[in-house]
């Protein structure tokens, strides 16, 4: 089973260089000041110019103006805008970047997911009143599996994933991809590189 792997919450140049060398499918960066993993856009643009990688570069935004987010993403050198929050009133007609939408599968009604326009993937994260994402809490795998089965749009499983549970999660949910942040950290904003390496290995050795 070939699983798409995103390593999110990369918050410093050293981690970026090390993680990129492990060749995940996507690298994620938080562009929201309320997160301890928030990165400065200009610093991130500089980091990305200094590395060579085929991974998708994903910027994570909370309640953004989509056109502004896409403009910033293009300036930084990102491939994907990942959006959290209530933005369904916004039409999606953005060239040059992909759109991934965070959803909470166990709180959705049938047919509820989806912005008006193009959405390239859903990120099935765990709901929290305190944080829009990156909670580290394990989600409802059965609800996410139902979303995977019902949706023609690719679904990434997020929320509470770690090396010790990612293979079980993949077996239960059968997602297109997996997304990990806090589950491979020493502390918020600093990756445990051995855990990152092990997480990627477990996703690719079936």
Q: Is 42 a catalytic residue?
A: no
Question: pLDDT (tens digit, 9 = 90+) per residue, 27-85?
Answer: 999 999 999 999 999 999 999 999 999 999 999 999 998 889 999 999 999 999 999 98
CA atoms within 13 A on the CB side of 21: 9
Helices (H), 65-174: 66-76, 141-150, 166-173
Average pLDDT across the chain, whole number:
88
Domains of the chain: 4-204 (3.20.20.70)
Beta-strand runs (E) in 80-164: 80-84, 91-92, 98-103, 116-117, 121-124, 155-158
DSSP 3-state percent helix, strand, coil across the chain (nearest 5): 30, 25, 45
- 203 a catalytic residue: no
pLDDT at 95: 77
State yes or no: pLDDT of 131 exceeds 70: no
Out of 42, 95, 106, 125, pick the active-site residue. 125
Cα–Cα distance, 156 to 133 (Å, whole number) = 13
Tell me which of 42-51, 53-62, 88-97, 114-123 is least confident.
88-97
Q: What is the mean pLDDT of residues 82-97?
A: 73
Q: Which one of the listed residues 8, 15, 179, 203 is annotated catalytic? A: 8
């Amino acid at each position: 089973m070939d699983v798409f792997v995103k390593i999110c919450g990369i918050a410093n140049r050293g981690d970026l260089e090390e993680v990129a060398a492990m060749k995940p499918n996507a690298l994620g960066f938080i562009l929201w000041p309320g997160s301890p993993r928030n990165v400065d856009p200009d610093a991130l643009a500089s980091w990305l110019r200094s590395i060579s990688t085929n991974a998708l570069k994903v910027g994570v935004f909370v309640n953004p103006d989509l056109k502004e987010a896409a403009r910033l993403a293009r300036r930084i050198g990102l491939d994907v805008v990942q959006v959290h929050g209530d933005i369904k009133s916004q039409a999606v007609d953005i060239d040059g970047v992909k759109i991934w939408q965070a959803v909470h599968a166990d709180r959705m009604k049938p047919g509820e997911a989806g912005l008006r326009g193009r959405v390239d993937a859903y990120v099935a994260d765990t709901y929290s009143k305190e944080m829009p994402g990156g909670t580290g809490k394990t989600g409802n795998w059965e609800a996410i599996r139902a979303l995977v089965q019902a949706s023609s749009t690719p679904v990434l499983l997020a929320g509470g994933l770690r090396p010790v549970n990612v293979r079980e999660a993949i077996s239960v949910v059968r997602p297109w991809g997996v997304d990990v942040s806090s589950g491979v950290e020493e502390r918020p904003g600093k990756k445990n590189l051995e855990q990152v390496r092990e997480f990627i290995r477990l996703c690719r050795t079936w």
